Chains A and B, each alone.
Chain A
Amino acid sequence: MGPLGAAPRPPAATWDLAGRVVANGPVSQGLRVLDVELPRAIDFLPGQFAMLNLTGPARLVFRRPFSILATAGRTISFLYRAIGRGTSLMAGLAPGAAVECLAPLGQPFPAPAAATPPVLILAGGVGLPPLYAWFARYRRPADLACFGGRDLDDVPWDLVPPPWQVSVDRLDGAAARSVFHGLVTELALACVGEPGDATPRLVLACGPTPLLRAAARLARERGWPCRVSLEEHMGCGYGVCKGCVVPVRDPGPPGWRHATSCTEGPVFDAALIDWDRFGHAAAGGPA
């Protein structure tokens, strides 16, 4: 066991289950929670995800990946934003509707061990679920959690009660509790203080790519370890299609390789990601 906690262990047995929607509604202006009842309870570790699909004529060609927010008995919950075809169809699911669920998948965030420094959590928007799950399961007194939303209406207040700290990009009214106006990384910096006088931290981040880059930079500048959950596009979610790759540094030539995000990730050591290649057209041979 390293100082960051238990090494990511291979995912618990994954189940392909036919679930039923028990609840599906807004928790803020832009975010919704979907609760699905499965035929059996599944174990998951914070950071693991599920591949979901609709059934019947609305069934999508590929399932969609969603981080697991929580489980309770046979119910599994997701936090999502309707941004496209699949998530919009998802938003229309009424209680009783059928949902296909392949879960749990992927590598989790590390569980804390005695030697793990206090964590600094940065969650942006729909990047909240894996870190909500981490904080709910492992939280220690010195751990810090920051959530960033677009504006006050976008924040799912019930999911980020104190001691969660909240930032909003646009402050357009009065909040019921103290809220930081600015980026979640700026909030995090305000929380941990100046470089040098701050206690070392393990940074855990999930959210839009600019947030992940900023979190990785923050950690790198201070020499802190950092884990990020990447929301790379996926086809299968279980390792068979190579439709989800991420460039990572590699000791052998040419110095980098493609990691399979759905099985080697979605949680990666930020220092391993080749950020210069990430999100850009990387090199490849003829098709």
Chain B
Amino acid sequence: MNRPGWWRLDPCAPFALGPRTLPGRIWTASGCFGYGLHGHDIAAPDLATPYEGIGAVVTKTVTPQPRPGNPMPRLVELPFGAINSIGLENVGFAAFLRDVLPELEARGVPNVVSLAATRPAEFGTMAARLYEVGRGLRHWHGVELNLSCPNVAEGGHDFGSDPATVAACVAAARPHLPDRILVAKLTPNVAQIAPLAAAAAQAGCDAVAAINTVVGLDVDTASGRPVLPRRFGGYSGLAIQPIALAKVDEIVREVGVPVVGVGGIVDARDALKFFALGCVAVQVGTAQMRDPFAAARLAAELRR
């Protein structure tokens, strides 16, 4: 790809975000590169590891308790994307702190830990505990709040669609992360995303990540039933890129909080669109599942 004239950033150079300096601007998206520990056995002729040039791996979302996740099938492939219903399968917060976080540090994987909870206050408890365990770690850079889960305290409504709840979650975590970044990951499944971003910014987050998956459904025409056992899933991949760009643009122009762009980024040209709108960093999700070197190759291409 020919890099356009306006492109001046080195995406693999350290940059300041909130209280911290991150190693680079090309990240992998939550849930699409595991906990960041599966790339070490993989090599390619052009790149020694899938981590080359990556600014941060955002881990699979970790919940207070382990979760077995949803029944199979969990993925539906469509021509330009996929619908997933993984159900936040994860090892749970305690096992994550014990087994995963030290391993990320030992292997030098720059990481941001994605957290989900069922009550706003729980984000505070988790952030505090994470900081207690992780404050001495060099490669742990902060937290991304996955706000697209049901809020038990509010009768199961999505956390992410109500500005006051978004603010409560961010405010609960913020005081416990003095020198780490706090990112609020926003859902696109709302008419207007700017109020959510504004609430997160006012509550003290360093950036918002936009977007999480778009609610989607596919039907098996042979049986006449939805393909996924839980009917709905999260739509991701190239197909949602225009939605992500529109949401990012709305936030950048109306709120001005730093935005980490995510949604349908497959190659360097896609990432450039998000940077052109003002994103400070981008995340590669579905494309990283297909290609362990997707983010690393994208970073190499955008490097000056």
Contacts and interface: CB of A to CB of B under 8 A. Distances in A.
B51 to A, nearest CB: 13
Given A102-B42, A236-B289, A287 B85 contact: yes
Contacts of A62: 75, 77, 82, 289-290
Contact of B38 (A39, A40, A63, A240): A240
B61 to A, nearest CB: 11
Given A62-B77, A243-B86, A17 B44 contact: yes
Interface residues of A, number: 39
B33 interface: yes
Contacts of B237: 61
A13 B42 contact: yes
Given A16-B291, A287-B230, A235 B67 contact: no
Contact of B75 (A14, A17, A233, A280): A233
A286 interface: yes
A20 B195 CA distance: 51
Contact of B74 (A61, A102, A245): A245
Interface in A12-45: 13-18, 39-40
A239 interface: yes
Task: Provide the main secondary structure of the chain B interface.
Answer: loop
A242 B86 contact: yes
B292 interface: yes
A258 B69 contact: yes
Q: Which of A60, A233, A245, A287 has the most CB of B within 10 A?
A: A287
B56 to A, nearest CB: 15
B293 A243 contact: no
Size category of the binding interface on chain B: 35 or more
B41 A241 contact: no
A11 interface: yes
A258 B67 CA distance: 10
Contact of A60 (B45, B68, B77, B89): B77
30 contacts: A15-B42, A16-B292, A17-B45, A60-B77, A61-B81, A61-B286, A62-B289, A233-B73, A233-B75, A235-B74, A235-B75, A235-B289, A238-B292, A240-B34, A240-B38, A241-B289, A242-B60, A245-B72, A258-B68, A263-B38, A281-B71, A281-B72, A284-B71, A285-B69, A285-B88, A286-B87, A287-B70, A287-B87, A287-B230, A287-B233
A10 B37 CA distance: 14
Contacts of B84: 235, 241, 243
B78 interface: yes
Contacts, number: 127
A217 interface: no
Contacts of B72: 232-233, 245, 281-282
A167 interface: no
A235 B77 CA distance: 9
Contacts of B33: 240
A3 to B, nearest CB: 28
Interface string B20-44: 0000000000011110001001111
A67 interface: no
B6 interface: no
B283 to A, nearest CB: 14
Given A62-B290, A236-B290, A16 B43 contact: yes
Given A240-B288, A258-B89, A284-B87, A14 B41 contact: yes
